Amino acid sequence: MNIAIVGYGKMGHEIENIAEAKGINVVSIIDPTHENATHKEINDESMNNVDICVDFTHPDSAVENIKKISSLGKNIVVGTTGWYDNMGAVKKIAEEAGIGLIWSGNFSIGVNIFFKIIKNTSKIMNKFDDYDVFVHEFHHNQKADSPSGTAVMIGNILLENIDRKDGIITEELKRKIEPNELHVSSTRSGSIPGTHIVGFDSVADTIELKHTARGRQGFASGALVAAEWIKGKKGFFNIEDMMKNIIGSD
């Protein structure tokens, strides 16, 4: 498999390292500012002999990157977060171009196992009204979006399975939270790769589910699993589609 890495920041470097270890050919590294990138633009030359593009860039450039890559007929793994307000438009772009696209707020296989655990636990907790629920995440101080895409995905899993919650609040609260609201909060500091906590709290006790990333390796490795999975496919997919295919439906 030949891949192009779009965005040569910390994640781009990690993907390059793991790709080499897995025997995956990195034929193009595209970044407009990095001096060690092979190309500065997404075009015919930088996409030559590329099977899959892996995009870890910035929310402001993600949609435009997807447009350019789709127009050149290449399948895409999108690990960039913060562009989800344009989800409908991106789905249309991929479908009209006839390419395969898989996206996720977090490609870590461990995190996606964590999602399954949250889903199953939330179905149980739906039957126990004494427990309130919250989500909190920690990330490094260079992260461009808040809350994380992973935290939003966790919040949506909880909303789907806990009837007493029907809305996510991500901003600072200067009022009493309503019983139907799920607070998804964030901390940005230091070099934290990513920690996500789901808490179920009652008068009697607290139950917590927690995932802690040790580094970027899990995200990069999972993105390459997704690249292998999306190769040859057409359509608009998310990580849950891939996980169902790997481990079976719930």
Catalytic residue numbers? 139, 143
* Residues linked to residue 201 through DSSP beta bridges, in sequence order: 132, 206
- Region of 248 please: left (phi>0), alpha (psi -120 to 50) or beta: left
Q: Which of 182, 186, 184 is nearest to 125 (CA)?
A: 182
Closest to 40 (Cα-Cα) out of 60, 14, 68: 68
Rounded Cα distance between 145 and 25, Å, is: 30
Q: For residue 199, what is the DSSP state?
A: E
Amino acid identity of residue 221, one-letter, is S
Q: Distance between CA atoms of 36 and 150, rounded to whole angstroms?
A: 30
Question: Is residue 128 within 8 Å of residue 179, measured between CB atoms?
Answer: no
- The encoded tokens of residue 182 equal 């799920």
